[in-house]
Amino acid sequence: MARVSDDDDTVDAVGKVTEALEYVERARGHLYTFHQLIGRADLVLGEACDDLRKAGHDTVADRLETDMVGHNVLQGRWTFQVVEEFDDTYWSRFRDHDRQVREELLGGARHLHEDRMKERRRTHGRKGHEARP
């Protein structure tokens, strides 16, 4: 694909779209961390209920197990459903927009802003500062 535009203002603006997506990618990673931490907490709480029963505290174990083990983190949702909804309704949509913006304005080039920055900042001819692998 040929670049439609590669002026600095366009490259910088498209770079900001991609930067915003990179923040969303990081947030998505934290969402997966949340998913795994809550899942593990639920399993450990179930083990705690078993241990409370073994120690003779059936009423406490029943109360915890009935109210908290397997409880939704949001209305009607476990964390996997939160992750899936985020992926389906926001993350994938944002990725599509990022790709479309790059295709329309930069012929699909990725990280053109960073590529230009690398060219300006590297020491030409010095080992470890090559333009390309």
The residue type at 74: L
Phi and psi angles of residue 99, each rounded to the nearest 5 degrees, phi first: -60, -45
Q: Are 112 and 6 in contact (CB under 8 A)?
A: yes
pLDDT tens, residue by residue, 6-30: 788 999 999 999 999 999 999 999 9
Alpha-helical (H) ranges within 1-133 are: 8-54, 58-67, 79-86, 92-106, 112-121
pLDDT tens, residue by residue, 27-74: 999 999 999 999 999 999 999 999 999 999 999 999 999 999 999 999
> Which sequence spans correspond to the domains of the chain?
8-121
The residue type at 92: S
| Residue 23: both structure tokens together | 């923040």
pTM value? 0.84
Q: Are 35 and 79 in contact (CB under 8 A)?
A: yes
The pLDDT of 101-106, averaged and rounded, is 95
